[in-house]
Amino acid sequence: MLSNAANQALDSKTKQRILHIPKKDLVLKDLKRNRWLYMFLVPGILFIFVFKYFPIIWNIIAFQDYNIADGISGIFTGKWVGFKHFKYLFFETYDFWQVFRNMALIALYRIVWGFPAPIILALLLNEVRRMWFKKLAQTIAYLPYFISWVVVAGMVQLILSPSEGAVNELIKMLGGEPVAFMQRKEWFRTILVSITIYKEIGYGTIIYLAALAGINSEQYESAVIDGAKRLQTIRYITIPGILPTMIVVLILQVGSILRGGFEQVLLLYSPVVYEVADIIPTYVYRTGIQMGRFSYSAAVGLFESVLAVSMILVTNKLAGKYGKGGLW
């Protein structure tokens, strides 16, 4: 028999080959030994299955004229119309392309301004030497992430209110006229992206601070001995050290950015700013839930999902091509 030390050093495949233990028995033995740890996975697995995988079945109604009165059985008995809804989506309606343009612009703004924001904040916090100030700054940055979007939207509407909002009160004190920011098309996207950065910057900072903690401190000590300045250590040590994390976060953000933003847009927009504010998730909600066009909204949602997956694959491929790693 193998000693305990040697037994621990061997992986499961090696154990199976040397001890001639069937793979099925190894799996069952591991499940039995760590059964309570696996039990913690059950709620998460159920959540993913019920809310992520099970709804995929309903994508079939994008190729049907689905009637809500038929219930679940309607996905099997509905009239098959092929690509009818996709043809209407791409060639017969202007609304979708307006929505797609809004989604692309808001996504671009969120990447251009929102992606580097937590990186910059993490780099600044990493250079702070006063621990009490660093902890205070971290707490202030993290708190908004734990506030519901409903509360944040209410705060924004109160602050920007044309009658009693703090911003308009300041404008009136300076001799200006009140501005209805939430009803002005030229202001909506700026406000939306700014609020998103304000709420999510703290969470992103946690990720990068964890990556910064993994950089070997000896590199900084060597750089100081060689006469490197702070900006030089950031450029040549810190940023390269967190670059793999930046790539992974960017890939995930590119994939989720098309499906993100539903709550904040739904809570902040109004028919006055639909032209610049309506995005694909809110468009699916309005056409599907409010107008009852379930098959058409399913087609829009399916197109959005395919586009998001394609963007993840392209971004990951580019990251791997230029030697910066990726998700796989």
Whole-prediction pTM value?
0.77
The pLDDT score that the predictor gives to residue 215 is: 86
- pLDDT of 306-318, one tens digit each? 888 888 888 777 7
119 or 73, higher pLDDT:
119
What band does 204 get if pLDDT is binned at 50, 70 and 90?
confident
Q: Is the pLDDT of residue 258 over 80?
A: no
- pLDDT of 221-252, one tens digit each? 888 888 888 888 888 888 888 888 888 888 87
Nearest C-alpha neighbor of 196 from the set 147, 126, 251, 250: 147
The pLDDT score that the predictor gives to residue 62 is: 87
Nearest C-alpha neighbor of 125 from the set 242, 2, 249, 253: 242
The pLDDT score that the predictor gives to residue 54 is: 85
Q: Is the pLDDT of residue 289 over 80?
A: yes
State the average pLDDT over residues 64-80: 80
What span, in angstroms and rounded, lies between the C-alpha atoms of 148 and 231? 37
What span, in angstroms and rounded, lies between the C-alpha atoms of 243 and 250? 10
Tokens coding 57: 């079945």
CB within 8 Å of 266: residues ≥ 6 apart: 282, 285
What span, in angstroms and rounded, lies between the C-alpha atoms of 278 and 97? 11
174 or 259, higher pLDDT:
174
Handedness of CA 106, 108, 113, 114 (dihedral sign): positive
DSSP lists the bridge partners of residue 80 as 64
Tokens coding 85: 């809804």
- pLDDT of 2-22, one tens digit each? 455 455 544 555 554 545 666
CB within 8 Å of 159: residues ≥ 6 apart: 165, 166, 167
What band does 151 get if pLDDT is binned at 50, 70 and 90?
very high
What band does 28 get if pLDDT is binned at 50, 70 and 90?
confident
Q: Is the pLDDT of residue 1 over 50?
A: no
Say which range, 94-98, 140-144, 152-156, has the weakest mean pLDDT.
94-98
Q: Is the pLDDT of residue 198 over 70?
A: yes
Tokens coding 56: 């995929």
DSSP state for residue 291 in the 8-state scheme: T
- pLDDT of 275-287, one tens digit each? 888 888 888 888 8
What span, in angstroms and rounded, lies between the C-alpha atoms of 230 and 5? 46
The pLDDT score that the predictor gives to residue 18 is: 47
The residue to which tokens 């004229």 are assigned = 65
Q: Is the pLDDT of residue 27 over 50?
A: yes
- Domains of the chain (ranges plus CATH)? 4-39 (no CATH), 44-82 (no CATH), 83-321 (1.10.3720.10)
What does the mean pLDDT of the chain come to?
83
Angle between helices 149-159 and 185-213 (to 10 degrees): 130
Q: What would you report as the CA-atom Rg of the chain, rounded to the nearest whole angstrom?
A: 26
